[in-house]
């Protein structure tokens, strides 16, 4: 472990050293020449950075915050207000103690810097900076970009109310696909490969398009939100690609639930050549996009092979797919009253359905007399299909006491093959004084039978002695006081013995032998 940590430390040190050694952006992390923001000094961005935007045009307070500040609106990680204020925004720095802040929609602000040396003709550079959405911004936007120019450029302040603030230009660096950056938690890179024309010596960050050409999305509709899109900015880099090798970035390994999507790769623009493959295959699935969304149904690994400035590298990302959690639906209980010469026997049938059933071993049907302590009364093997239907009949009901009603509680316990348990909702039925009373007469019968129920009738089914369901004619319903009476014409049926099943509105089920003469 110590050896691994030592290697990791060395790699991070090498990256930081290379960034400082070859990065052409002075004060790339806003840590040098800091004047701590306060009520007297304001919030000046550290030299040699400056803003080519008129000061009073800024729509969001402050374009620099640092941990050294003693004022709420310009500190780190909280700024704009104290930590317990609804006007407060929170973000840790990407590196060091300070970062810049720029609005990009409903107002513009830019930060500009002179590179350590001009870019050389036809030489390639990796250009990158990191942003995170200010979480009290009302909006998030796209068009975050980097402009490289031979001479300094300044925003047009002759627009509406002499305070438009737009610096109209065609920036060279913008993320692939130019997506809206909505992330208020993580730092997101704005990155691209640039082949220099030669002589570019100034770097400017911001949105160089008007609101009409900027996509935005509402992210904070509270009364405390600033009516703009604002972004923290940190770690700005312009690094010649002959000073280091830009390695392929396939993204981070991710676990998703089946049906969800994951982003693989990056938004880095300008990669010379690239090729995406699925691990274990030779087919190319994409050769244009540095990053995109995937929706695998099973665990899948993707390989990105790219060439930048003559250097070829590969990286692999794996998306692990978890099945959807088992869902138990349409769980219901029904009372079955079986008529016989010995009297009426009651049982309770448990009916339920499942979806997304994968890796399930079995189901335990559990019963309780108090709704708290449950015991297993039966077990059913799982089918492990996408959609399943189950039933279990509880024939051993506890006896009622002194003719008082007895409430029984049931639930379904699913057991995965790895031992994981999951439970359905709890259902209950009351036995005893609320038993259904259903009368079928005459029986035996020739032409008509009457079905009388004190609980109404939801469904009637007729079966022959082989268990085949017989189609029934339309039923005439007569309401006689508290009783529901149905008349059923049986003239069309052959003589014989049938089973008549009646399901009441209270889900009680009564089965009775019917003789047709």
| pLDDT above 80 (res 62) | no
In a domain, 412, yes or no: yes
In a domain, 418, yes or no: yes
Question: What's the rounded Cα separation, in Å, for the pair 449 and 466?
Answer: 22
Percentage, residues of the chain above pLDDT 70: 85
Please say which residue of 431, 457, 487 terminates a domain: 431
Q: Which of 403, 396, 391, 392 is nearest to 345 (CA)?
A: 396
259 shares its domain with 357: no
Work out the end-to-end distance of the chain between its first and last CA atoms, rounded to an integer number of angstroms. 88
Q: Name which residue leads in pLDDT, 101 or 513.
A: 101
* Count of the separate structural domains present in the chain: 4
Mean pLDDT is lowest, of 93-97, 476-480, 492-496, for 476-480
pLDDT tens digits along 423-432: 999 999 887 5
149 shares its domain with 189: yes
Question: What's the rounded Cα separation, in Å, for the pair 389 and 287?
Answer: 46
- In this prediction, residue 13 carries a pLDDT of 44
Q: Is this model's pTM higher than 0.85 or not?
A: no
For residue 160, give Cα distances in angstroms to 109, 141, 163, 168, 242: 15, 21, 6, 15, 45
307 shares its domain with 177: no
β-bridge partners, 281 = none
pLDDT tens digits along 227-265: 999 999 999 999 999 999 999 999 999 999 888 999 999
Place of tokens 């009603």: 405
In a domain, 3, yes or no: no
Contacts of 453 (CB under 8 A, 6+ apart): 436, 437, 438, 439, 483, 484, 486, 502, 504
Contact 31, 19 (CB under 8 A): no
Average pLDDT over residues 280-309: 96
Confidence class for position 151, pLDDT limits 50, 70, 90: very high
In a domain, 367, yes or no: yes
Q: Could you tell me the residue range of the domain that residue 308 belongs to?
A: 254-322
Confidence class for position 508, pLDDT limits 50, 70, 90: confident
- Indicate the SS3 state at residue 57: helix
pLDDT tens digits along 325-345: 888 999 999 888 775 545 567
- In this prediction, residue 477 carries a pLDDT of 58
423 shares its domain with 449: no
Mean pLDDT is lowest, of 65-74, 191-200, 205-214, 395-404, for 395-404
pLDDT tens digits along 300-325: 999 999 999 999 999 999 999 987 78
290 shares its domain with 377: no
35 shares its domain with 121: yes
CATH number at residue 344: 2.60.40.10
133 shares its domain with 58: yes
């Amino acid at each position: 472990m110590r050896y691994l940590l030592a290697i990791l430390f060395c790699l991070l040190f090498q990256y930081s050293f290379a960034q400082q050694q070859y990065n052409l952006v002075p004060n790339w992390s806003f840590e040098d020449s800091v004047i701590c923001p306060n009520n007297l000094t304001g919030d000046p961005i550290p030299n040699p950075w400056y803003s080519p935007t008129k000061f009073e045009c800024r729509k969001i307070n402050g374009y620099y915050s640092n941990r050294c500040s003693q004022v709420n609106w310009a500190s780190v990680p909280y700024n704009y207000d104290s930590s317990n204020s609804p006007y407060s925004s929170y973000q840790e720095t990407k590196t060091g103690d300070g970062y810049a802040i720029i609005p990009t929609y409903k107002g513009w602000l830019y930060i500009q810097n002179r590179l350590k040396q001009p870019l050389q003709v036809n030489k390639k550079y990796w250009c990158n900076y990191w942003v995170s959405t200010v979480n009290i911004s009302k909006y998030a936007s796209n068009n975050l970009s980097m402009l490289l120019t031979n001479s300094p450029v300044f925003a047009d302040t002759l627009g509406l109310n002499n305070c438009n603030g737009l610096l109209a230009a065609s920036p060279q660096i913008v993320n692939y696909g130019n997506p809206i950056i909505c992330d208020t938690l993580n730092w997101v890179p704005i990155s691209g490969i640039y082949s220099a024309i030669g002589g570019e010596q100034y770097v400017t960050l911001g949105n160089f398009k008007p609101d009409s050409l900027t996509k935005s999305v509402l992210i904070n509709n509270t009364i405390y939100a600033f009516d703009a899109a604002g972004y923290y900015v940190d770690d700005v880099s312009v690094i010649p690609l002959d000073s280091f090798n830009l390695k392929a970035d396939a993204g981070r390994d991710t676990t998703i639930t089946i049906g969800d999507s994951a982003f693989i790769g990056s938004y880095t623009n300008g990669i010379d050549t690239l090729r995406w493959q699925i691990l274990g295959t030779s087919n190319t699935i994409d050769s244009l996009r540095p990053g995109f969304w995937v929706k695998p149904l099973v665990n899948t690994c993707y390989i990105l092979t790219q060439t930048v400035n003559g250097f070829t590298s590969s990286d692999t990302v794996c998306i692990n797919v978890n099945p959807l959690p088992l869902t138990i639906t349409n769980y219901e209980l029904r009372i079955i009253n079986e008529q016989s010469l010995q009297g009426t026997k009651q049982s309770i049938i448990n009916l339920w359905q499942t979806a997304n059933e994968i890796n399930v071993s079995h189901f335990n049907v559990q019963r309780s007399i108090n709704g708290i302590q449950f015991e297993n009364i039966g077990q059913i093997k799982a089918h492990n299909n996408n959609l399943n239907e189950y039933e279990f009949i509880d024939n051993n009901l506890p006896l009622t006491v002194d003719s008082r009603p007895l409430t029984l509680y049931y639930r379904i316990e699913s057991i995965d093959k790895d031992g994981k348990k999951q439970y359905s909702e709890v259902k209950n039925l009351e036995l005893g004084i609320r038993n259904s009373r259903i009368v079928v007469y005459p029986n035996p019968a020739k032409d008509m039978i009457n079905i009388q129920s004190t609980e109404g009738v939801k469904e009637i089914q007729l079966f022959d002695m082989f268990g085949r369901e017989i189609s029934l004619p339309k039923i005439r319903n007569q309401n006689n006081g508290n009783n529901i009476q149905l008349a059923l014409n049986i003239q069309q049926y052959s003589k014989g013995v049938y089973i008549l099943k009646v399901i009441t509105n209270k889900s009680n089920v009564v089965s009775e032998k019917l003789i047709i003469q």
